[in-house]
Chain A
Amino acid sequence: MQRNSKAKNILAVLVIVFLVGQLFFVPKTYVNSKLVTALQAPFIFVHSILVKENIRHQLVELQLENQDLRAQIELLRSRPGIVMDGEEAMVFAKVYSNYPVNNANQILVHAGANSGIKLGAVATTGEGIFIGEVIEVFDKMSVVRTIFDPDWELPVKIGAGRVDALLVSGVLPKLTLISKNKTVSVGAPIYLADKNYPYGLTVGIVSEIEASENERFDSALLSTPYEKSGLDAVYIRLSD
């Protein structure tokens, strides 16, 4: 009976030692973390809501900043800038608008005297195709007369054989005074040969030849590699 009681005491002591020993052998941090996590749960919940709100706010700010930067990039892109093509200085200018009615074909561009543009300066596409010349200069803008403007005549040369012709501008620019003795083919490039402009600038290509037995000279139609309505920007040469 006494032995039984002793055994029970020993068992009780062992259980107590085991339980108390947990405090020493199980890592405190583990117990702590569980307790702390449980206690912190509401705070974490509130904090997460605040953080989420903060992130949302930051996101909105970033979006606004992004829009602002895009606007600045667009502004810089549309600002007239000087571009060097070899030794040739050119001003890159965005097109504001086209002349609205039929008696002229001009474009208003966003570069003027402030960018160094002078009367008579040559306007070309990015590929160096002749578009026209500057006929009016304001401080920040200029008016470019295009080859589709009526009543403008320019001496040109056609193809590798450099056949002489006269380009008569208009809604449909036409090449006239082509000698019947010379051969001109469709697709031949047309080069500018006016002493007022740089020699050899390309104007377009021959799209159709109008040969007539009754006429003393042949004529031809010109097509340009650009759409006049699609002109978004032009290059204006600064040097004479």
Chain B
Amino acid sequence: MQRVLEKLGLGIVLLILVILAVSFQGEEFFTWFGIKPNLVLGVLIAGVLFLDWLWYGSLLIIGALGLEFYPGIGMLVIALMGAGILIFWLTRKFLAEGFFAIFILGLAGTVAFYLILSPGFIWSNPSMVLVEAVYNLIIGAVLYGVLRYLNPAEQWS
């Protein structure tokens, strides 16, 4: 019971973070050197290391729908869903929890996102994708560090 409540608390915190990330994603406030981080992906990278598939899947759907720019469901939704599923699969199959996992997830998630959304963008602007990946993994690492500090025992199941 206590574990469920802990999971619920962590899930709600991450849900609020996803909503905040969606709200600020379109703003230039978080743009550094002309490159925007993917705040939603950053939150998901941290969340995938704590949440079970149900919570994580729910946050992924909320984040993807919130990120969409065009009316209806477009490529942004599909790209984020694809990247989100990839990092979930990588976490469960290959990676042990830790900052190294964040590094791999940040890089793989960002590249997968643009591979689905606009592969040409990766070839024409590789440095931009790389810098964004660094931003994303920094956001993921900071959130992971804070959440791990607040919930030392919490792990996905």
State whether A229 touches B124 (Cβ < 8 A). no
- Evaluate contact between A172 and B67: CB separation under 8 angstroms: no
Q: Which residues of B contact A74 (CB under 8 A)?
A: none
Contacts A150-B121, A228-B28: A102 and B36 contacting too (C-beta < 8 A)?
Answer: yes
The tally of CB-CB contacts under 8 A between chains A and B is 54
Q: Across the two chains, which residue of chain B brings its CB closest to A112?
A: B71
Q: How far is the CA of A106 from the CA of B26 in the complex (A)?
A: 11
> Could you tell me the distance between the alpha carbons of A103 and B71 in the complex, rounded to whole angstroms?
18
A136:B38 contact, CB within 8 angstroms: no
Give the most central of B25, B26, B113, B124: most A CB within 10 Å: B26
Which residues of the partner chain B approach A143 to less than 8 Å between Cβ atoms?
70
B104 interface residue (CB < 8 Å to A): no
Q: Which of A94-140 contact B (CB under 8 A)?
A: 97-104, 106, 108, 136, 138
- Interchain CA distance A103-B115 in the complex, whole Å: 11
For this complex, into which size category does the number of interface residues on chain A fall? 20 to 34
Which B residues, 27 to 80, have Cβ-Cβ distances below 8 Å to chain A? Answer: 27-29, 31, 34-36, 38, 67, 69-71, 76
- Asked if residues B124 and A151 are in contact (CB atoms below 8 Å), the reply is yes
Query: Do A103 and B69 contact each other (CB < 8 Å), given the known contacts A172-B34, A229-B27?
Result: no
> Nearest Cβ distance between residue A68 and chain B, in whole angstroms?
27
With A108-B69, A171-B34 as given contacts, are A150 and B124 in contact (CB-CB < 8 Å)?
yes
| A138-B36 CB under 8 A given contacts A100-B76, A103-B117, A103-B121 | no
Check if A97 sits within 8 Å of B71, measured CB to CB.
no
A220 at the interface (CB under 8 A from B): no
Are the C-beta atoms of B26 and A100 separated by less than 8 Å? yes
Shortest CB–CB separation between residue A151 and chain B, in angstroms? 7
- Decide if the interface of chain A is mainly helix, strand, loop or mixed: loop
Contact pick for A141, options B71, B129, B132, CB 8 Å: B71
Contacting pair B124 A138 (CB below 8 A): no
Residue numbers in A under 8 Å from B35 (CB-CB)? 102, 171
A143-B70, A171-B34 are known contacts. Are A98 and B26 too (CB-CB below 8 A)? yes
Residue numbers in A under 8 Å from B27 (CB-CB): 98, 229
Question: Do A98 and B28 touch (CB < 8 A)?
Answer: yes
Q: How far is it, in angstroms, between the C-alpha of A143 and the C-alpha of B75 when the chains are bound?
A: 15
Is B155 an interface position by the 8 A CB rule? no
Please determine whether B67 and A100 come into contact, CB atoms closer than 8 angstroms.
Answer: yes
Interface contact A101-B117, CB-CB below 8 Å: yes
Q: Mark A162-189, 1 if CB is under 8 A from B, else 0.
A: 0000000001100000000000000000
CA distance A99 to B36 in the complex (A): 11
Report whether B76 and A101 are in contact in the complex, using a CB–CB cutoff of 8 Å. yes
Q: Which residues of B contact A227 (CB under 8 A)?
A: 28
B151 is an interface residue with CB less than 8 A from chain A: no
Chain B contacts for A99, CB-based, 8 A: 26, 69
* Interface residue ranges, B against A (CB under 8 Å): 25-29, 31, 34-36, 38, 67, 69-71, 76, 113-114, 117-118, 121, 124-125, 128-129, 132
